Every structure is written in C-alpha cells, then in structure tokens.
Structure 1
Amino acid sequence: MFDLVFDTIYFASYSNFYGLGSVSISLFDVILAYILTILCSIIVALVLRLPLLPSKPYRYSFDVSALYPTPIIAIGIFSIFLVLNYTFMYNGLVLAAIIGVLSALFVKYLFDFVFPKPLNDNTGEDINE
C-alpha cells in the first residue's frame, strides 16, 4: 500500500508533461483527498437512499449498497486522475468531491445496466428479483 501512495505522489509531482514540474502534491493532500472521496460517495449514496449494507446473505448478494461498490469505484476513478496528474483545484479536493458524487449517482442509476446481475440457473430470471 505504501508503494502505491509513493508512486501516486511521484507521478503526480514529477511526471507533469505540461511544463509545471514545480507543482507538487503532498502525501497529506493525497490522503485527505482519498478520505474526502470515500466520505462524499457514501454520504451521497445514503442521500440517494441506497442501503448501507447489501441484503443477507452478504456473500451471495448482488445488491449495491453505500459501502460496496460505491467508495471502491470512487477511489479507482480518483486514482486514475491522480496518476494522470490532473488534480483540478485545491490539490484535488474539488475533484475528489465531484468524483464522489458522480460515483454514487453511477451506482444508483447505471450500475445494473453496466454490470447486470447473473441469471438464476433454474428459472432464467435475475437472482435478486
């Protein structure tokens, strides 16, 4: 994990190909932006009335919830932006909030279309319906 954080900071600060090599982002800023992304995605998902946890049994549930996959999608998309050295304003905090909101909206409205639920072997219907 620490190698991932170091590599993210390295790419964000030294691999800037737009001629802004003196612009750097600190470890504290990266961690703060990740925490903001996670919190923003969970809060917006709860406001959109996604359940906090999926239905039981958790192991075989294909339901979306506020804790999974919403923050994981937000962290992944935000990591892509950091590696590409695009932090927008305030060392990535505004971008983190925007990505948190958009990931919650994606999970609420588009996740089942992009990643459909598997079919039941016996009836040919979706499992959780």
Structure 2
Amino acid sequence: MASPRHALTIFRSRVAELLTAVDELRHALETAAGDVRNAPGDVKLIQKIVAAEFAVDPRLMVGRKRDALAAPARMVAMALSEELTGHTLACIGAAFDRDHGTVIHARHAIEGRCATESRFAHKVTLAREKCRAALGEKYPGTVPALR
C-alpha cells in the first residue's frame, strides 16, 4: 500500500497533467474561435445587408440588446447565414456573440413569423435575395429558402 505522501504526489501529478490538457484544449478553442469572433466575411456581409433592410444599426447585430428592432433583424441574419453559408451553427452563433442554440431558435422563429406575417416575409425575401446576389456563386449548394 502506498503511503499518503506518495498518493498525494501521484494525485498532484495527475491533476497537473489534466490542467495541462485543459490549457492545451482552451488554447486550441481560442485559436479556432479567434477566426469566428472576427466573423467570417460572408456572415459580416449578411449582417450588414439585413441591418440595412431592417433599418437597424449594424453594430446591434452582434450586441446584446433585445429590443423590438434589433432582435428580429439579428434572427433573420442568423437564419440567412445558416441558409446561405456552409458555416456550422456554432460558427454562426459565435459571429453574433451567441451559441448554436440561438441560431436554431432564430431559424424556427423566422419561419413561424414568415408564415403569419406577409410584410415580414417580404422583408426576409428581399434580404435573402440581396444576400444571395452579394455572395454570388460562393455557395451554390445552399439549402432551400425558408418557407
């Protein structure tokens, strides 16, 4: 049987190994997120187009404000980013300072609102077409448009 001192030494060694692994993982994630925090250029472009279409300050697309003007525009930009780019939900969420679940919620919320509000659906369609035109043929295999 190992002495308590020896057991403590082994424990400390394993904790140090785990902390090193955590630090390496954190560094890898920060490196990967660094590219995302600066938002891929196509997502930034979608943010700008949607902000203009909804008459919202583009800075609010990434902000934490949840007012009646910024939130719907931000959700449309998230939904269109998912629809028109090949980025992961996590990447899109990070570009908006949100998580992937928020992107999923945005898609469902926009689909529902488009189904019940024709004026809103028209704005989304206009924004989508402007985004498609701006992105060009960069993403030829995008998913079908929101209903």
Q: Same fold (TM over 0.5)?
A: no
Higher relative contact order (CA 8 A, sep 6+): 1
TM-score w.r.t. structure 2 length? 0.29
Q: Which has the larger radius of gyration?
A: 2
